[in-house]
Amino acid sequence: MRNRSSGIQLGRNALLLITHLLIVLGFTIATVLVLVLVAQVPSDRLVQRNDIIVPLIVGAVGALLIGAMTLIKPLRRYSFLSTIPINWVLAGVYAYFLGQTYPLLMAGILLTLISAGMLQLGPQLGAFHAVGVFIAVLVGIFIADNNQTQFLASNIEDYLLLAAFTLLVAIIASLWYNLLDEENNSNRKSVRQENEEYRQRLLEMRERAKAFSEMAATLNATLNYDRILDAAMNIGRLSIRHDAKQRVVGMALMVGDQGNLQIATARGLQPLDMHKTFPGQSGVIGQAMEDGSPVIIEGGDEDPELGKLNAFANIRTTLVIPLRAQFETYGVLVFGSTAPKAINEDHIDTLGAIGVQATIALRNSVLYANLQDEKERIIRIENNARKALVRDLHDIPTQTVSAVAMHLSTIPIIAERQPETLNDEVENIRQMALRATEEIRHVMFSLRPLSLESSGLETALAQLSDKMISTYKQPMQIDLDPQIERVLKPEAQGTVFYLIEEAANNSRKYAKASLIRVRGTIEGNEIVFRVQDNGEGFDTSDIFSDYSKRGSFGMVNMRERAELINGSFEIQSAPGKGTTVVVRVPLEDENLPDASRKPLIQPRRSLRKSRETAGQ
């Protein structure tokens, strides 16, 4: 379009230059003829000299008048119309002084005035101007002939020939003007088209800038999975679409449950295509996911995976951008255009940057969802711990203290009726109070064993074994690998102690075991703790079903505690064969609960969950 506009502009300039040269040439020839005639007139024929000089003076005055009007801003728009009466007066003056003496010169001046007026004023006003010039010439000749018609009658054929020639010149000038006007109209139309294109491009640039701004605001202000992808889709389509007739298809494919790609959001797809999935193993999608970089191809309807979409039947250019952070691929952004070669390197850079920003936002959404899960899990564990504390206080110390209070209330009665047994009753109450004290201390020890922080896990478990014997008369053996305390982080030791203490209490309360044995070994890249009793045992399917219904204490809480240190929890039991609780803790540093460990929830699970947990 720019080359075409430049060619039109050059043609228009050439036509205007030729027109101006013709006008200047006509006036130059007329001026030369006048000067030649003036030079040939003898000095004794001063009247004839004046016949030539006077029209020149009139013409100069008319030119000065037109020039003055162009300098006055209010009159500038009417300056071209003032040439009509001035040319009429000039034609009449030339006819009066030169019409009879120099008819050839008069004809040249007449044709020049008519041609210039036609080119300047256009066909309509030019024709009106030409008729006026011709009438002014006739009036000038008539006045110069002393209001007689002999001269006109004797030269009627010459003037008719002059009129015909003048008409021919007027027609030629009109055609020339129309040619110039057509070129001008074509040029104006071209300029309007270019202006419209520039205006449309400016609007598109503003829309892109607005979309970029909205996307940046969305990425900064929200952790919502859908909003992030919608913003990426909008800016991607605006970046590619440069023509209203161009159709752009876009979709975001995210990793699903089985490792396949599902359509999370789309633009321009048919409803039947929205539920289709993609393996992501072949074609342009597989290449982009394998390379981890944007891929552009010509076409799209022949792609082994995209070709099954109806919306890609007429796609001529396809771009796939992977959403990848470090070594995790969350999905891909796919854009297709019906225009060939509609996507270039600039689009790849722009949309690649959009993909990077969207990936960062998605990763933040994943981390936020993980954080929400961890927060909810910790709150749930703390609530369960409080409930367990209430249960432990109610089951043993509270009942013992209540028994002390009840026996104290019987002291006056015993003193009155059986004073000889009073000392025995007081001793019994004292023993119950001591037992209540031991029970309360055991509960406090289970909540926060100080020896765990000062001496380590093995010492804390040894104290737990002693308290089991002293408080509940429950034998408990401890057998730990000495290397465990060195490789297991202190914060993980606290969780392991809670799990062992909870498992031992369950064996004491429900298994009727004569011995509880705790073993800790290092097996490969794991630390394995086993809490084993020789009690009655139980059917694990029944207990799992019961805990699922209750959703409170016990194994659900223990399993969640184990997951906090990225460990696992398992119960092995059968009726009459005792029970074994197995806790496994990995030794890898990145799997331990520090700030640098990987999210506990993988991206695909978190992305699905973020729709509900990160809707801000």
Task: Kindly tell me if the per-residue pLDDT of 335 is higher than 70.
Answer: yes
Task: Kindly tell me if the per-residue pLDDT of 256 is higher than 80.
Answer: no
Order of all β-strands in the sheet with 568-573: 476-480, 516-523, 526-533, 579-586, 568-573
Dist. CA 92–CA 98, nearest whole Å: 10
Q: CB-based burial of residue 334 (10 Å sphere; 0-12 exposed, 13-18 middle, 19+ buried)?
A: buried
Mean pLDDT for 331-342 is 83
Q: CB-based burial of residue 578 (10 Å sphere; 0-12 exposed, 13-18 middle, 19+ buried)?
A: buried
Dist. CA 467–CA 497, nearest whole Å: 14
Residue 500 CB partners (closer than 8 Å, separation 6+):
461, 464, 518, 529, 531, 583
pLDDT band of 289, cuts 50, 70, 90: confident
3-class SS string, 481-546? CCCHHHHCCHHHHHHHHHHHHHHHHHHHHHHCCCCEEEEEEEECCEEEEEEEECCCCCCHHHHHHH
Q: Across-strand partners of 248? A: 337
Q: Determine the pLDDT at residue 580.
A: 94
Q: Which two tokens stand for residue 328?
A: 């995790």
Could you give all domains of the chain from N- to C-terminal order, each with its CATH number? 2-193 (no CATH), 222-364 (3.30.450.40), 452-616 (3.30.565.10)
Token pair 């922080």: residue:
453
Half-sphere exposure of residue 115, counting CA atoms within 13 Å on the CB side? 22
β-strand pairing of 516-523 with 476-480: parallel
**Residue 294 in 3-state DSSP?**
coil
Task: Kindly tell me if the per-residue pLDDT of 346 is higher than 50.
Answer: yes
pLDDT band of 520, cuts 50, 70, 90: very high
Q: Which two tokens stand for residue 401?
A: 């203290």
In contact, 219 and 355? CB cutoff 8 Å: no
DSSP states of 334-375 as a string? EEEESSTT---HHHHHHHHHHHHHHHHHHHHHHHHHHHHHHH
Q: Is 269 left (phi over 0), alpha (psi -120 to 50) or beta?
A: beta
DSSP state of 72: S
State which H helix or E strand residue 96 sits in.
helix 79-98
Q: Which two tokens stand for residue 513?
A: 């075991």
Q: How many CB atoms lie within 10 A of CB 138?
A: 17
Least confident of 24-28, 111-115, 192-196, 440-444: 24-28
Task: Kindly tell me if the per-residue pLDDT of 478 is higher than 90.
Answer: yes
SS3 of the chain: helix, strand, coil, percent, to 5 = 70, 10, 20
Dist. CA 514–CA 467, nearest whole Å: 16
pLDDT in tens, 384-437: 666 666 666 666 677 777 777 887 888 888 888 888 888 888 888 888 888 777
Q: Determine the pLDDT at residue 25.
A: 55
In contact, 52 and 36? CB cutoff 8 Å: no
In contact, 145 and 100? CB cutoff 8 Å: yes
Q: Across-strand partners of 333? A: 252, 321
**Residue 434 in 3-state DSSP?**
helix
Q: Determine the pLDDT at residue 448.
A: 64
Mean pLDDT for 274-292 is 84
Q: Which residue has the higher pLDDT, 615 or 290?
A: 290
